[in-house]
Structure 1
Amino acid sequence: MRAALLASTLAALAGCHARRPAPAPASVVPATLPYLSRAAWGAHAPVLSMKEHVPDRLTIHHTGVAQAPARTPGEKLRALQQFSQREDRLADGRVKKQWADVPYHLYVTTDGTVVEGREWRYVGDSNTPYDPTGHLLVVVEGNFETETLTEAQRRTLDVLVPALARRFGIPATRLGAHRDFATTACPGHNLYAQLPHYRALIAAATP
């Protein structure tokens, strides 16, 4: 009787353990950089199902709006998630459909903080007709048609870009920008002009 009760208890415990969700992947951001995880900024859970992928490209975006150094990184990501998780109207009048979560995997704020957006193991989203499967999406705060990177953003990107490339085995030739895959000005000509510099950093860091 006692043996049967013990076996039943162990089976129940095993069942509970099996139903626990898998742990989130470890951060891919170097420990030397200022970093804010989803938990730290108070992210809500995704509201739709998402497709898993393995990143084999690194693609740079900009937010397309003016830099806002007075707002905290958490405020920016919470606002972006709220916008992302509802149907909304874009500045050009188009209607944006509801997304599961923040469309980008990593967000670089004006003070150089790297903020976790969508988990990297899930495909991101876009307002333009290209398939972001396989793209690790890094968005930089600002409108780089008219603005330039802050010094803090420059320092962060010089470390972050080659580190991500090493982590996922992405060669310099597979670093691109949104405008390379869709008809858009993103990430703005001032940031797009920096891509050769980042490709050189990736090439130099490749064994």
Structure 2
Amino acid sequence: MSDPSRESAPRSTTDPSRRSLLGAALGGGAGLLLLDRRTATAAAVPRDSAIADTATWGARDPRATIDVLDHAPSKIVVHHTATPNGTDYSRAHAFALARSVQDHHMDVNGWIDTGQHFTISRGGYATEGRHNSLAAVRDGSRHVVGAHTAGQNRLAVGIENEGTYDELDPRDAQYTRLVELCARLCRRYDIAPHEIYGHRDFNATDCPGDRLHALLGRLRSDVAAEVGGDPTGVSWPLLRSGDAGDPVRVLQYLLNEHGASLTADGVYGPATESAVGDFQRSTGAVVDGLAGNQTWNQAVRERGSGDRGPAVRAVQHRLGTAVDGIFGPNTATAVRSFQADRGITTDGVVRVRTWRALLR
């Protein structure tokens, strides 16, 4: 039940050590001289009209092979760097920021490369973070395993936004570029706009800041205006000790999918509460034994034809089909019928909206 990436779970972006290191690096002229030590190797013109790749901003080589999966990501996670809200909006600063983040992630966190896939500066410049991320987007069917959101690194594209957004909003240029980048990712990877999240939707962190997190509804809507789809985010039920019923049973099946050994009896007793706490701990979520948004967001995985296991059993139980844990033709037909009845895209695949409907 540990995070599947080879790196450790990322630190909270409100971690004082991270804030002080990057803040010192980006806050003054002396720091920028240090950051610009690789400027001579950076190309003068970005190779991509929207995103400067790692060669353009002068990245170091990763210290190990980057994992690239043969499937597209299914969601986007928005972060902030928790660094000062500086007033240098130049491309040179954006490149210096990219180098500073990579240095921190490799030299302080001990990661193999930059953790996130892309970074957007306060000036609105977008840079590639982890190597091969831009190539994977251009391909449209591959995903680079990052190190930005514990429990989600094999599933989500991570976007860092320079600054701290607890008390103010991102600059217009930065927000506009964030919309453009999210829309590009949604188009290329067929990600639904409602699958845009903030870091705190999964992990125990303040990231991406109160104000930026509050903007996510608008971000989903603005992206949906570009690519289509319903931007309404999913809100999950809060389950706790003493609860009983089918939602609890679904939760138990999902926990078993992630390594627990629960009897799916639909009763939120001590064993279930303990399993929830263990799962929260393993995914970097708030550990409180309550199954809320973070727990559901971490536990739910897309399931479709050919899949097997406890999560498929949860779907079959709720649909009233034979519970054998095999997502075969009968299950797919039942899912499509359920989706049609609920006004969900009728594709026979159990994604986040279908999971939420199964809990009602």
Whichever residue aligns with residue 204 of structure 2, its letter is T
The partner residue of 1:45 within 56, 61, 66 is 61
Q: What is the CA distance between 1:181 and its match in structure 2?
A: 0.7
CA contact (8 A) 2:179 2:223 kept: no
Deviates more, 1:174-183 or 1:48-57: 48-57
Residue type of the alignment partner of 2:104: F
Residue 201 (str. 1) matches residue 222 (str. 2)? yes
Change (3 A) 1:122 1:162: same
1:78 alignment partner in structure 2: 99
1:57 matched to 2:75? The reply is yes
* Gapped regions of structure 2 (runs ≥ 5): 1-45, 134-142, 230-360
Find out whether 1:114 has 2:126 as its counterpart.
Answer: yes
What is the distance in 2 between the residues matched to 1:41 and 1:165?
25
Greater fraction helix:
2
Q: Which of 113, 116, 139 lines up with 2:160 in the alignment?
A: 139
The TM-score, its normalising length taken from structure 2, stands at: 0.44
What amino acid is aligned across from residue 173 of structure 1 in structure 2? H
Distance 1:140 1:196 in 2: 17
Counterpart CA distance in 1 for 2:218 and 2:168 is 18
The question of 1:101 aligning with 2:113 is answered yes
CA-CA distance at 1:144 after TM superposition: 0.7
Q: 2:175 aligns with which of 154, 168, 174?
A: 154
Residues paired across the two proteins, number: 167
Tell me if structure 1 keeps the 8 A contact 2:119–2:128: yes
User: Counterparts of 2:167 and 2:224 in 1: how far apart (Å)?
Assistant: 29
CA RMSD in angstroms comes to 2.1
- In structure 1, which of residues 94, 103, 125 is the aligned counterpart of residue 147 of structure 2? 125
Structure 2 residue identity aligned to 1:57:
K
- 8 Å Cα contact 2:124/2:177 also seen in 1: yes
User: How much does 1:78 deviate?
Assistant: 1.1
The higher-RCO structure (CA 8 Å, 6+ apart) is: 1
How high is the sequence identity, in percent, across the aligned residues?
Answer: 27
Higher Cα Rg: structure 1 or 2?
A: 2
Give the unaligned 5+ runs of structure 1: 1-26, 89-95
SS in 2 for 1:85: helix
CA shift, 1:189, in A, is 0.9
Judged with a 3 Å threshold, the aligned counterparts in structure 2 of structure 1 residues 139 and 59 are, in CA distance, closer, same or farther, namely same
Amino acid at match of 1:169: D
Give, as a single letter, the amino acid of the residue that structure 1 aligns with 2:122. Answer: T
Q: Structure 2: how far apart are the matches of 1:170 and 1:102?
A: 23
Farther off after superposition, 169-178 or 50-59: 50-59
Give 2:236's aligned residue.
none
- Contact 1:105–1:136 under 8 Å retained in 2: yes
| Cα distance, 1:158 vs structure 2 | 2.7
Cα deviation, residue 185, structure 1: 0.7
User: After the TM superposition, which segments of 4 or more aligned residues of structure 1 sit over 6 Å from their partners?
Assistant: none
Contact 1:166/1:206 (8 A) holds in 2: no
Change (3 A) 1:202 1:109: same
- Could you report, residue by residue, the CA deviation over 1:120-173 in whole angstroms, capped at 9, with x for unpaired residues? 2321113x6433111111110111113321121122123222222111100022
Instruction: Give the superposition deviation at 1:197.
Output: 1.2
Q: Separation in 1 of the partners of 2:101 and 2:200?
A: 21
Q: Distance in 2 between matches of 1:190 and 1:66?
A: 15
**Which range moves more in the overlay, 55-64 or 193-202?**
193-202
